[in-house]
Amino acid sequence: MTTQALTTAHWAGLAQVHKFGGTSLADAGRFRAVAAIVQQHCATPEQCWLVVSAPGKTTDQLCQLLDMAARGEALEPVLAEVQHSLTTLVQQSLTEPEQSDVLAQLQQWLALLPELAQAGRAADVLALGESVSALLLSRLLRQLGLAADWLDSRQFLTVDGQQVRWDQSEQDLQALCQPGIRVVTGFIGRDLAGNSLTLGRNGSDYSATILGRLVQAEQVTIWTDVDAIYSGDPRRLPAAVPYQQVSWRQACLLAELGNPVLHARTLSPLHNSQTKLLVRSSFEPERSGCHILPDADCLASFVTDLHDMVLLSMHQLHGLNASWLANALHQPVIALPQSCDAHVWLLPARVADEAVQLLARHQVHAVHDTSRYYAVAWLKPAQVQQADLPADVAACVKRLAPAHRYQNHELAIWLFDQELSAVNLAQLHQCCTQPRPEIQLIVAGTGNVGAEFLRLLPGHQQRCHSHALRLAVLFNSRQMVFEPDNGLELAQQMQQGRPLDQKALLAEIAQLKGPKVLIDLTPSQQLAEQYPAFIEAGCHLISANKQGVTLPEAEYQAILDRLDQQQLHWYSTTTAGAGLPVQRALQELHSAGDQVRRISGIFSGTLSWLLCQYDGSSAFSDLLLQARELGYTEPDPREDLSGRDVQRKLLVLARTMGCSLELDDIALEPLLPESLAGDSWQAFWQQRAEFDALMQAAWQQAQQQGLQLRYVGELSLTEAGVQARVRLVQVPASDPLAAILPCDNVFVIESDWYQELPLVIKGPGAGRTVTAGGVHADLAQLCQQLPAAAYSSRLS
């Protein structure tokens, strides 16, 4: 081994820190297993730091020794036990000449123990365990041909009260840096006067992250006896889910709740650093472990239970907080979301008096409740981070009748007078952590309706309890974007896209895992004709685009058949009545056994608005521009004026009622005669005066008779077959179709059950928000249709 000195900066971003706890070093077999892990993971030894705890039960034995010394009892029996177990460990782990070397050192340390114990130098006594582990492991590694040496952390780690002296510790560590693997004692350090101290419960994990920060490690790996962080205690909850990724935020909250895998202090040195943190099992080193990731979404869901807890109330905190108390007590202290003007913390009953005294020393008056509680805390996944509980969780909690409930968007805590039975706890855990499959959204169209749909999406993502809605693909007639960046404005997002390429788009969509849905918010017939290809790629369909649902019957039926074969769904509520539930009403009547005979009314929001607003004082075409601005018209408003849009809607309704019909089977009397429509929008616009004159004449004629203009559709099912038409009519003021608000649609449904008085559905039939809202309603329906258990979106 070369003795060339190195600085910690030498390792910056390269060094690895591995920490092995007492169970990982319980006996000679475990030491060999750890040495094998080190061999595999410390390929470049000069970048490798190992932090070790005392072997197996050594710390417990040393504590016993200290207790006996404090009571003035004879120490020999325990000393003999310690000597026997450590000597055996060394003999079984090492061969000569290392074995004799280490045994000689062990004898020297053991000889000092009685004096140290009797002097009450607890930290010096306890340090024996970590020192033996460090020395032994370093020699074992040497026997395996690795350049390894051990380092007593008291040589560099200086702690002032609860604060690490970072500058001093780094400076002292630099002076000790050497190439090769360094096996460092965990759990111990020194105070400002150079006396030994211990870092408290789980101190070795803390040592590892402190060292990680001091050497600016690339990664700190905590090798323990679990291979993941579980959604609950797997010993009590066999259905607990292992997570292979947990966000930093959730790890901190879990630590505050007293989760045994990672403690709040362990996490603190690496906060806001580049160092990665990984938890792995030294018993199953082939498993990849659980990454604690600063940028990860809070997708995991955890249920933790805490026994024998009390409530502590304070009016003033004088700058103290629950984490401070948790650190001081080495116990979980949970700040509950406040319900009144007091601060309420939850903590174990056994430390309540100590907490009150400690706070009093800092001028904080605290009182603790005499009631003892069994607490269950739910750390919510991002999908349900909101004020209200998801309905299934709320129902489960209601049944269990907690004495108190607290919650904020991240955390819910329920306090029970008695411990929950294993069955009840398992049910609550299942409700809180059940899989919420991810649906991949492929959104086509970023115009009027598309932009509004995307604006409403985050709200729906928050509310959708059954599924995670993931915007996977966004495309319009020019650009396509995969995995859009939610932080960007829509226009910026599209600018970053690639030119639309249907083949590449479909190939990418086919690769997406889990359920996926094409949400067609375009007016494109070409896209509608491609639905079979999207179905082939596994997509459900949601269409605001009327082209697909009004394709020629054979093509339309072929799409339905393909969907059926692949067990996929198609929702198109907004293609008639925008957000109004007209298709749903027809489907429900049909499935309940009713027979619809006639449907009639006003089906165009644009024409409804125009004919309500028009009073002859301005040109009809000027109003048309306003309707377009309001988001009512089709992308080409001549589609509305021609009556074609209403004709399509009537076809949609006919098909919903089970009629086999083509578009041209519906008689069409246009508002805008074909001769005035022009070849293009520009051509129409240039000659609009003629159309304006036509509309003025029609309006005047109706006015003179006290009538109003309405553009209506009607479809009747008779013995003779289906009769359908759309046209401009004049109605008296008493007619239900006269008494509408601008933009209202009216659907009058007559059926066997609704004969004398028809079923009427009325409301705004066009507009960005109602339409985008209707598309979200379709998406919600789809989510309800998808079997939650069929997909596994566990984070792996």
Ligand X SMILES: NC(=O)C1=CN([C@@H]2O[C@H](COP(=O)(O)OP(=O)(O)OC[C@H]3O[C@@H](n4cnc5c(N)ncnc54)[C@H](O)[C@@H]3O)[C@@H](O)[C@H]2O)C=CC1
Ligand Y SMILES: N[C@@H](CC=O)C(=O)O
DSSP 232-267: S-TTT-TTPPEESEEEHHHHHHHHHTT-SSS-HHHH
Q: Out of ligand Y, ligand X, none, which partner does residue 640 contact, by CB within 5 to 8 A per kind?
A: ligand Y
Give min distance, CB of 521 to ligand X, in A: 5
**Residue among 376, 380, 379, 397 nearest 309 (CA):** 376
Give min distance, CB of 545 to ligand X, in A: 4
Rule CB under 6 A: say whether 606 interacts with ligand Y. Answer: yes
Rule CB under 6 A: say whether 247 interacts with ligand Y. Answer: no
Q: Out of ligand X, ligand Y, none, which partner does residue 604 contact, by CB within 5 to 8 A per kind?
A: ligand Y
Q: Out of ligand X, ligand Y, none, which partner does residue 631 contact, by CB within 5 to 8 A per kind?
A: ligand X
Residue window 540-559: x/- pattern of binding to ligand X, with contact defined by CB under 6 A: ----xxx-------------
CA-to-CA dists, residue 714 to 579, 597, 667, 673, 717, angstroms: 20, 11, 10, 20, 10
Question: How buried is 327 (Cβ within 10 angstroms: 0-12 exposed, 13-18 middle, 19+ buried)?
Answer: middle
Residue 649 a catalytic site member: yes
The DSSP secondary-structure symbol of 501 reads -
Q: Can you say how many angstroms the Cα of residue 647 is from the centroid of all Cα atoms in its chain? A: 44
Q: Out of ligand X, ligand Y, none, which partner does residue 227 contact, by CB within 5 to 8 A per kind?
A: none
Q: How far apart are CA 160 and CA 414, in angstroms?
A: 37
Choose between 380 and 638: whose C-beta lies nearer to ligand Y: 638
Among 78, 393, 449, 657, which residue interacts with ligand X (rule: CB under 6 A)?
449
Instruction: Give the binding range for ligand Y (CB under 6 A) out of 63-71, 236-244, 264-272, 602-610.
Output: 602-610
Residue that has been written with the tokens 């700190």 in this structure: 220
Q: Out of ligand Y, ligand X, none, which partner does residue 58 contact, by CB within 5 to 8 A per kind?
A: none
Q: How far apart are CA 363 and CA 318, in angstroms?
A: 8
Which tokens is 559 given? 């799409």
CA-to-CA dists, residue 230 to 251, 477, 597, angstroms: 11, 45, 58
The DSSP secondary-structure symbol of 533 reads H
Phi, psi of 565, rounded to the nearest 5 degrees = -60, -40
Q: How far apart are CA 574 and CA 542, in angstroms?
A: 9
Q: Cα dihedral sign for 22, 291, 380, 315?
A: positive
Residue window 549-578: x/- pattern of binding to ligand Y, with contact defined by CB under 6 A: -----------------------------x
Q: Can you say how many angstroms the Cα of residue 532 is from the centroid of all Cα atoms in its chain? A: 32
Question: How buried is 698 (Cβ within 10 angstroms: 0-12 exposed, 13-18 middle, 19+ buried)?
Answer: middle
Choose between 640 and 714: whose C-beta lies nearer to ligand Y: 640
Rule CB under 6 A: say whether 335 interacts with ligand X. Answer: no
Rule CB under 6 A: say whether 605 interacts with ligand Y. Answer: yes
Rule CB under 6 A: say whether 766 interacts with ligand Y. Answer: yes
The active-site residue out of 516, 546, 649, 762 is 649
Instruction: Give the binding range for ligand X (CB under 6 A) out of 235-243, 269-277, 376-384, 516-524.
Output: 516-524
Assess contact for 469 and 453: CB atoms under 8 A. Answer: no
Question: How buried is 735 (Cβ within 10 angstroms: 0-12 exposed, 13-18 middle, 19+ buried)?
Answer: middle
Q: Which 3 state secondary structure label does DSSP give 25?
A: helix
Q: Out of ligand X, ligand Y, none, which partner does residue 523 contact, by CB within 5 to 8 A per kind?
A: ligand X
Q: Out of ligand Y, ligand X, none, which partner does residue 15 contact, by CB within 5 to 8 A per kind?
A: none
Rule CB under 6 A: say whether 447 interacts with ligand X. Answer: yes
Phi, psi of 539, rounded to the nearest 5 degrees = -90, 135
Which tokens is 464 given? 């959708």
Rule CB under 6 A: say whether 484 interacts with ligand X. Answer: no
For ligand Y, the binding residues in 607-666 under the rule CB under 6 A are 632-634, 640, 645
Rule CB under 6 A: say whether 450 interacts with ligand Y. Answer: no
Choose between 302 and 632: whose C-beta lies nearer to ligand X: 632
**Residue among 721, 715, 724 nearest 668 (CA):** 724
Choose between 227 and 452: whose C-beta lies nearer to ligand X: 452
Q: How far apart are CA 222 and CA 37, in angstroms?
A: 12
Rule CB under 6 A: say whether 446 interacts with ligand X. Answer: yes
Rule CB under 6 A: say whether 745 interacts with ligand X. Answer: no
Instruction: Give the binding range for ligand Y (CB under 6 A) out of 95-103, 290-298, 507-515, 599-607.
Output: 599-607
Rule CB under 6 A: say whether 497 interacts with ligand X. Answer: no
Rule CB under 6 A: say whether 604 interacts with ligand Y. Answer: yes
Rule CB under 6 A: say whether 642 interacts with ligand X. Answer: no
Rule CB under 6 A: say whether 744 interacts with ligand Y. Answer: no
Rule CB under 6 A: say whether 21 interacts with ligand Y. Answer: no
Phi, psi of 201, rounded to the nearest 5 degrees = -55, 135
Which tokens is 518 given? 């094409």
Rule CB under 6 A: say whether 452 interacts with ligand Y. Answer: no
- Count the residues in the chain: 796
Choose between 180 and 605: whose C-beta lies nearer to ligand Y: 605
Closest chain position to ligand X (CB):
447
Q: How far apart are CA 521 and CA 448, in angstroms?
A: 9
User: What is the size of the binding site for ligand X (CB under 6 A)?
Assistant: 29
Choose between 150 and 711: whose C-beta lies nearer to ligand Y: 711
Q: Which 3 state secondary structure label does DSSP give 482?
A: strand
Choose between 46 and 640: whose C-beta lies nearer to ligand Y: 640
Among 187, 248, 475, 556, which residue interacts with ligand X (rule: CB under 6 A)?
475
Rule CB under 6 A: say whether 209 interacts with ligand X. Answer: no
Long-range contacts of 686-691 (CB under 8 A, 24+ apart): 688/619, 688/621, 689/619, 691/620, 691/621, 691/641
What amino acid positions are annotated as catalytic residues?
649
List of residues contacting ligand X (CB under 6 A) = 444-450, 475-477, 521-524, 526-527, 544-546, 574, 578, 605, 631-632, 634-635, 766-767, 771
List of residues contacting ligand Y (CB under 6 A) = 578, 604-606, 632-634, 640, 645, 765-766
